[in-house]
Structure 1
């Protein structure tokens, strides 16, 4: 497994209440990339390239870990 993850989520990321996460700069809500170190805190990037923190109440460590463990995740060498 790579030491650093860059995982593009096809579709949308939602918070526990079902609200869709959007980029605070451009409003993009699909194909967001979760990035960060293995076992660490994830952050988000929209398709345009804006970087932003994972919004509360989403746990940024858990979000990255779940994305990395998802069987649909494809790691590109």
Structure 2
């Protein structure tokens, strides 16, 4: 099993995962990243905050992928 690290970006704050988590597959890491992001999102919505959030996943040697949620106001043009 490979060790995956889940670094969190919330607005201007960055939290590095120093321990990592051993998971059996890349797909399991994708699921873990999405569950982590959703858990953080639920907490921030109830606190009235809506920062852009991201979970960047890396191995011990490489950046692998990133899942994110971007909050836009109704007046924001795309």
Q: What's the TM-score bracket when you normalise by the shorter of the two chains?
A: under 0.3
More helix, by proportion = 2
Q: Name whichever structure is richer in strand by fraction.
A: 2
Bigger-Rg structure (1/2): 2
Tell me the TM-score normalized by structure 1: 0.27
TM-score normalised over the length of structure 2? 0.26
